[in-house]
Structure 1
Amino acid sequence: MPLQRQLYVQIRDLVLKGRLLPGERLPSTRFLAKELSCSRNTVLGAFDLLFAEGYLEGQTGSGTFISGVLPEDLGTIAQALGEKGQTGGVRSGRGLSKRGLELAAMEKRVHRSHRVFAPGMTDLDSFPFPLWARSLARTWRYPKDEVLRNPDPCGYAPLRKTIADHLRAARGLQCDWRQVMITSGSQQAVDLMARVLLDSGDQVWFEEPGYPGLRGPLHSAGITTVPVPVDAEGLSVEAGRRLAPSARMAVVSPSHQYPLGVVMSLRRRLELLDWAIENDSWVLEDDYDSEFRFSGNPLSSLQGLEAERLQRSGQAGRVVYLGSFSKVLFHVLRLGYVVVPEDLVDSVAAARALLDDRSSLLAQPALADFMAEGHFSAHIRRMRRLYAERQICMLENIRRFLPEYLEVEPDETGLHLTAFLTDKVMKKTTDREIVRRADQEEISLSPLSLFYASPENIHQGLMMGYGACTREEIKQGCQKLAGVFMKAVT
């Protein structure tokens, strides 16, 4: 085998075995050539192959790095390497379980420092930090005993009461504050509910495409996720019945499907609730950014719709509601909540105390004060207007600078737009390659193909966030992205 090919294979294998990690910097080609006693052209040729296949990425003036978005077959190859190892049939990887290997290969999202078009990011410049600091100071200058002594594992009671009041008024939920339990985010909530409500080996309907961050906790609990296609009305209940008729749960984002942005129709919502009752199954409702709806009032939640029906029938609730403050306030706050059916409160509280004593209490009293003072609602109103303006700006600039490359429609909710690659682009490249090239221009995008579990269903597109971008940054970002596309398709 030529030296160039040997070097390419050896570096690729180090990546696939996890010995070279995403984001890790490689030595310079000049240094490697000297160390290996070979021509620098040999090293450059090997690097070119690795760049072309997506294993490496370069940053001008900063060096060469292991790519954060690795080739699509990484999970399969890495698992095969881990199971076979070097000794033929003995699993390597420092004793990782099969589940551990699968989890390590499953997560492919990349977190970048630059903010242009980063999906899910909020505008920190507009957050009222002086008011937040005042709430922090007020609650921690002389903290109450209930914060410091034997706090409730389900969370700070005044915050749970404030959240319940907000959900009843803004989202149409029907719940007592005791049903609200504070978590460290949606992923922890999913992990908790999977362990309480499901058994290892149970099947769960999962939106296709869907948010990988929620698939991981389910997988770690031994749950089998069944990809169920999303159409113009939301998750297809008919397809779910066909693919997994005995599923024990459906995980959905009905108010603003992630990543496509579809709003589940009333007909489909009722169909889903009927299925849950008939099948003695659960519905996990992820309501991650419903506050930012730009036209009309926010849609009522599945939980609220179910509660209206249950009052007439007397049946127990089947919907578990998830919410998070990351998309509403700021990402690093790491506070969320889960609203459980009333008859499950004691059981879930007991399990929570055993699995995870409590979420951090540092921010909970301050957030309760911040909401009680009216700052939370005022902030949502301000940001709703701002994000609506930024979405319009994003649409205008995509249609101005990128009409040959992207097809996009307005969205009534949220912090991102999902734009689909045109046929012209798909004949030449993929969304992952565009994301890799855009990253070199300090543009942060997510490839739509990343959110599909079934290769045969994949659509190509880009998730483009506008929450953290000014109007000028949106314009400049679209111009730079047009240059990225032009190089990729010519």
Structure 2
Amino acid sequence: MSKRRSIIEIPSLNAIDRTANVGRQLAQALRNAIARGELRSGERLPSTRSLAASLKIARGTVVEVFDQLTAEGYLEARVGAGTRVATDLMDTTPAPPLAPAVPPPSADAVDLPSQAARLIAIARALTPHPPVPFAIAVPACGIAPDDNWRRLGNRVRASRQAAPSGYHDPMGLLELRLAIADHVRRARAVHCEPEQVIVTSGTQQGLYMAGRVLLSRDDPVWAEDPAYPGLTAVLDDLGVQMHRLPVDAQGMNVERGLELCPQARAAFVTPSHQYPIGMPLSMARRNALITWADQNRAWIVEDDYDSELRYAGHPFPSMQGLRPSRVIYLGTFSKVLFPSLRLGYVIAPSPVAEAFAGARAILDRHSPTAEQHVLAAYMREGYFEAHIRRIRGLYAERRAVLLSALERALPVGCRVQQSDQGMHILLWLPKEVDDVQLAARALSAGLAVRAISPMYAARPARPGLMLGFGGFLPDQLQAAVGELVKLLSQQMSAAGGPQQAEA
């Protein structure tokens, strides 16, 4: 195995003007590189001899600069380990902005079709927050992936079955589809065979595939209000007619859909844990939705969001188990394992399963087979279900810490939405508070909250914040609540503040 390279290169130093004071320029260039994050704490610099040779300057000049920056605390010299950036420096890399500014037109600007602007907006809306307190869907560090996953990964990748090869079945690895079908049968009351399972790169791809297979341009569809931005982005891109149905304590209001557009071709719903508010779809609403689908030969697209992470009682059974012939079931491993795995699945009725496989083949053929082999082994050997039990207990503890901290500190007029499931808590704000502005201020302060008012179609939208807790330790959550409440109180004061708490 080759030795890991420990000496970094610093391209920005090549701009030094050798006709001026070289030492002063080099010192300032190194300070700037550290401040911008090009050089990070603990990283090793080239030797004085090699840096002098590459810049074509005297070695003595480089030695003087290193000595000066060491005295200033930017660098530290270790016997036998060379010169490195000081390890006690703060990481000064700026956090990415909530919404990147649009660059001004330039000579290199190009004419793009109208849909490009929409796709730019979608890219910005779906760009994840940095992994700082309250970021959504950040897994617990050290828990996912666990030691069993790493061990299996090493074993599977060393075997011939996961060796690099040609293209594979767009439906996914058969061993993984068998494991998924067995798991959802036992855990989610889903009725399916492995031939109905299509492995995807997560729920987002599953939503897009469902739209491509089931819908034509201008078809009417139902969607929740508020709804997952990734869903509304897909439906906008497909050019369908969205009818947004309000969400109340029982979930999506099916009766309103029957009034607005009974002839809709599909309903997109998160029945186990509504995104973003959190309530389940009531059994009466489930039955009404299934009756509508049966009578109109329509489809129900069930995004089984966060179904495994319920902290009181057992997870709600899926809608697919009530009517397998009319329901497209979407699942993902992102929340219970880790989002960067990029593996999920669609379970489709047999008559349309092959069409979903065709949609998958058009998009990107299939998911990486090595990761599918690892996941199949992880599920087959019982580690997946044990992992779910473990994180359910861990996340329940962190959720309780966050709820307790919020209860002690929240200003009058703010309220936590009741929910016993998922990896986030929804905090309702007084109507005069701008949740988008508050989220931007919080991000500047190192907190990644998510505003929900942009997820509504109806206006005026209700302001609120989603607070993720899964990937953060209790002390981090408690400190983050203090900082958030400070920002919230400042904004409420500037807005005039409510006179009393909401009922």
TM-score, with length taken from structure 2: 0.75
The partner residue of 1:172 within 189, 196, 216 is 189
For residues 263-282 of structure 1, the aligned pairs below 5 Å read 263-282=280-299
Amino acid paired to 2:98:
G
Given candidates 86, 98, 109, the residue that maps to 1:68 is 98
| TM alignment of 1:71-220, pairs within 5 A | 94-106=110-122, 107-144=124-161, 148-220=165-237
Q: Is it true that 1:452 corresponds to 2:469 in the alignment?
A: no
Q: Number of matched residues?
A: 403
Q: Is the 8 A contact 2:309 2:421 kept in 1?
A: yes
Alignment match, 1:53: none
- Deviation, structure 1 residue 318: 1.1
Deviations 1:52-75 (A, max 9, x none): xxxxxxxx996999952489xx9x
Distance 2:492 2:464 in 1: 15
Q: In the alignment, is residue 383 of structure 1 matched against residue 391 of structure 2?
A: yes
With over 3 angstroms needed to count, the CA separation of the structure-2 counterparts of 1:161 and 1:286, relative to structure 1, is same
- The separation in 2 between residues aligned to 1:209 and 1:328, in whole angstroms, is 24
Larger radius of gyration: 2
Task: Report the alpha carbon displacement of residue 121 of structure 1 after superposing the two structures with TM.
Answer: 1.8
The answer (yes or no) to whether the contact 1:431–1:447 under 8 Å persists in 2 is yes
Distance in 2 (CA, whole Å) between partners of 1:360 and 1:230 is 37
- Distance in 1, matches of 2:128 and 2:178, equals 34
Deviation at 1:489, TM superposition (A): 2.8
Q: Is the 8 A contact 2:191 2:320 kept in 1?
A: yes
How far 1:238 sits from its partner (Å)?
A: 1.3
The answer on whether the counterparts of 2:300 and 2:327 sit within 8 Å (CA) in structure 1 is yes
Quickly say closer, same or farther: Cα 1:471–1:346, change in 2 above 3 A: same
1:485 counterpart = 2:488: yes
Helix, strand or coil at the partner of 1:463: strand
Flag the 1:121–1:64 CA change in 2: closer, same or farther, 3 A.
closer
**Structure-1 residue corresponding to 2:341:** 333
Equivalent-residue separation in structure 2 for 1:346 and 1:147 (angstroms): 26
Query: 2: distance between equivalents of 1:360 and 1:247?
Result: 36
The answer to whether the aligner puts 1:233 opposite 2:266 as a matched pair is no
Distance (Å, rounded) in 2 between the aligned partners of 1:383 and 1:343: 37
Counterpart-to-counterpart distance in 1, 2:253 and 2:269 = 11
- Map 1:22-61; keep pairs closer than 5 Å: none
- Give the deviation of 1:152 after TM superposition: 1.0
- What is the aligned-residue identity percentage? 37
Q: CA deviation at 1:397?
A: 0.5
Amino acid corresponding to residue 469 of structure 1 in structure 2: F
Q: Does 1:245 align with 2:262?
A: yes
Q: Report the CA distance between 1:98 and its aligned residue.
A: 2.7
Report the Cα distance in structure 1 between the residues aligned to 2:365 and 2:132, rounded to whole angstroms: 34
Q: Distance in 1 between matches of 2:299 and 2:179?
A: 26
Q: How far apart are 1:129 and its partner, in Å?
A: 3.0
Q: RMSD value over aligned CA atoms?
A: 2.7
- Contact 1:147–1:156, Cα closer than 8 Å, also in 2: no
Contact between 2:435 and 2:463, CA under 8 Å: does it hold in 1?
Answer: yes
How much has 1:411 moved relative to structure 2? 1.6
Aligned with 1:306: secondary structure? coil
Residue 355 of structure 2 is matched in structure 1 by: 347
Counterpart of 1:439? 443
**Structure 1 runs, 4 residues or longer, greater than 4 Å off:** 60-67
Q: Deviations over 1:160-185 (max 9, x none)?
A: 00010000000000100111110001
Give the AA of the match of 1:446: R
Shifted more, 409-418 versus 204-213: the winner is 409-418
Structure 1 residues 420 and 171, CA gap change in structure 2 (3 angstroms): same
Partners of 1:395 and 1:410 within 8 A in 2: no
The two structures have a TM-score, normalised by structure 1, of: 0.77
Match of 1:421 in 2: 429
Change (3 A) 1:487 1:63: farther
Verify the 8 A CA contact 1:397 1:478 in the aligned structure 2.
yes
Determine whether 1:468 maps to 2:468. Answer: no
Mapped pair 1:370 → 2:365: no
1:419, 1:462 within 8 Å by CA — same for their partners in 2?
yes
Gaps of 5+ in 1: 1-24, 26-59, 87-91, 308-316
CA distance in 2, matches of 1:176, 1:129: 29
Equivalent residues of 1:124, 1:330 under 8 A apart = no
Post-superposition CA distance 1:274-332 (Å, at most 9, x none): 1111122111000121001111111110001114xxxxxxxxx1100000111010111
Change (3 A) 1:105 1:113: closer
| Residue type at the aligned position of 1:475 | Q
1:335 is displaced (CA, Å) by: 0.6
Give how far 1:476 is off: 0.5
Amino acid in structure 1 at the alignment position of 2:357? A
Return the letter of the residue paired with 2:385. Answer: S
Mapped partners of 1:334, 1:63: distance in 2: 27
Q: Provide the rounded CA distance (Å) in 1 between the counterparts of 2:302 and 2:371.
A: 25
Per-residue deviation, residues 397-428 of structure 1 (Å, max 9, x unmatched): 00111142520144211000111013xxx43x
Contact 1:69 1:110 in 2 (8 A): no
Shift of 1:483: 1.4
SS of corresponding position for 1:442: coil
How far apart, CA to CA, are the structure 2 residues paired with 1:154 and 1:62?
45
